[in-house]
Amino acid sequence: MKKALLIAAALATATSAAAAGKLEIFSWWAGDEGPALEALVKLYKQKYPSVAVDNATVSGGAGTNAKAVLKTRMLGGTPPDSFQAHAGQELIGTWVVANRMEDLSGLFKSEGWDKVFPKDLVRLISTGGKAWSVPVNVHRSNVMWYNPAKLKEWGVSAPKTWPEFLTTCTKLKAKGLAAPLVVGENWTQQHLWESVAIGTLGAQNWENLWAGKLKFTDPKVVGAFTTFGKVMDCANKDASGLSWQQASDRIISGQSAFNIMGDWAAGYFTTTKKLAPNTGFGWAAAPGTTKTFVMLADSFGLPKGTKNRAEALNWLRVLGSKAGQDAFNPLKGSIAARTDSDLSKYNTYSKSAAADWKSNKIVGSLVHGAVAPESFMSAFGTVIDQFVASRNSAGASAAAQQLAVRAGIGK
């Protein structure tokens, strides 16, 4: 036993002395997001030049493929040194409950992150007082996009509440606009549901919902479903065939007036469509959520049993640092999770989002993994689909409540 310990100690010193370590980073940032990841890796290599960085990217939208590969590797006992996951319950409800992740509270304390990350955010990525992942970026999900010129032409303004939205919708329909709101495939409808629910329930009730203090079968939530049904009556009928980009295109072309989408749409409008903020495209908080920032974040965690733990910890330090976040986010089109970021590097939209990030109430997004585990989210898509077909608010609420019980929400 003693001998084994000695050997282990010798090995440990040997590796740290040589310092020619290795680090494998697992993410789904390919394509457009690749350069942002590259910037981070470059920063890491400047600090730790002797470490060989292996960029194990698995491409595929929102990590659908990467998550399956990750599961195979984790179950097979060869976890990557650090992997990307949506911050919050998607990681906690999947890997933390299975006792597969390391507690990062120590790192948060020693790096002083408790002070620079907003409290609401730290609460979202923690359970039982322990933090589990380092958020690299922040996106906002409750943004309503429109075309300012077209709105002027129709003589309407961006509605502030959902009832106001419904009157605006009727007005636009009277002017011959068949679908004042545009939605796309299933997840964008869940995305819309989230904004409608927060806009009608309020931020506090939304948090209660995920803490198990408010049941899905509560009349308030049933009412949110009913409102969602009315909002969907304003939307296009060919939704399930459209990607979010195609849906955004209809705002620009004037086929629809509004689209609720996350702020990656700003990147699409400015970079791909070459439109200027405030003239080519406009934005407002989704109706009823003006002082609320519904956030989602990409984050990295530390799985138990990695081969290169020290290198992975250094990687997490770079991710959480001011330099790291300022290198990554302007390229990714998101904003820094830290409140002390250098705003001069960001575009017009991001500056307004960063200002809201510092001042608004922060709550987590459902469809992007912050408040509910994967098992809930994936099945909830079916509930939304069935609701859109049947418009049965009570049934959808009851189904959602059953899902919540099964996924252990509020336990």
Closest to another protein by CB, 186 vs 347, is 186
Query: At its nearest, how many Å lie between another protein and the CB of residue 261?
Result: 17
Tokens found for residue 384: 């939304």
**Contact string (CB under 8 A) for another protein, positions 228-247, x = contact:** ---------xxxxxx-----
100 counts as binding another protein under rule CB under 8 A: yes
- What the block records as the tokens of 313 is 């910890």
Report d(CA 149, CA 155) in Å as an integer.
Answer: 10
Beta strand spans in 324-365 (E): 335-336, 361-364
What phi, psi does 23 have (nearest 5°)? -145, 125
Q: Which stretch binds another protein (CB under 8 A): 21-29, 280-288, 310-318, 380-388?
A: 380-388
Beta bridge partners of 54: 24
Helix (H) or strand (E) holding 265: helix 264-267
Contact call for residue 53 and another protein (CB under 8 A)? no
185 binds another protein (CB under 8 A): yes
Residue 381 in the binding site for another protein (CB under 8 A): yes
CB atoms within 10 A of CB 80: 22
Does the protein bind another protein through residue 110 (CB under 8 A)?
no
Which of 74, 121, 166, 192 is close enough to bind another protein by CB under 8 A?
Answer: 74
Minimum separation from the CB atom of position 241 to another protein (A)? 4
User: What is d(CA 112, CA 385) in angstroms, rounded to the nearest whole number?
Assistant: 44
Q: CB of 306: closest distance to another protein in angstroms? A: 14
Q: Does 406 bind another protein (CB under 8 A)?
A: yes
Residue 276 CA to residue 270 CA, distance in Å, equals 6
Helix or strand holding residue 13 (H, E): helix 2-18
The residue (of 94 and 306) whose beta carbon lies closer to another protein is 94
Angle at 99 between CA 94 and CA 104, to 5 degrees: 95
How far is it, in rounded angstroms, from Cα 64 to Cα 62?
Answer: 6
The smaller minimum CB distance to another protein, of residues 15 and 255, is found at 255
Q: How far is the CB of 372 from another protein (least distance, A)?
A: 11
* Closer by beta carbon to another protein, 291 or else 304: 304
Q: How far is the CB of 46 from another protein (least distance, A)?
A: 36
Residue 358 token pair: 């510092």
φ, ψ for residue 261, nearest 5 deg: -150, 160
For another protein, which is the closer residue by CB, 9 or 75? Answer: 75
Rounded to whole angstroms, how far apart are CA atoms 220 and 198? 11
Q: Is 186 in the site for another protein (CB under 8 A)?
A: yes
Single out the residue of 36, 318, 337, 388 in contact with another protein (rule: CB under 8 A). Answer: 388
Q: Should residue 253 be labelled a site residue for another protein when binding is judged by CB under 8 A?
A: no
The answer to whether 291 touches 109, Cβ cutoff 8 Å, is no
- Which of 23, 396 has the CB closer to another protein? 396
- Alpha-carbon distance 168 to 259, whole Å? 14
Binding residue for another protein (CB under 8 A) from 6, 8, 75, 355?
75
Q: Which of 187, 280, 307, 314 binds another protein (CB under 8 A)?
A: 187
Q: Give the pairing of strands 292-296 and 335-336.
A: unpaired
Contact residues for another protein (CB under 8 A)?
Answer: 64, 67-68, 71, 74-75, 93-95, 97-100, 185-187, 237-242, 373-375, 378-379, 381-382, 385-386, 388-389, 395, 398-399, 402-403, 406-408
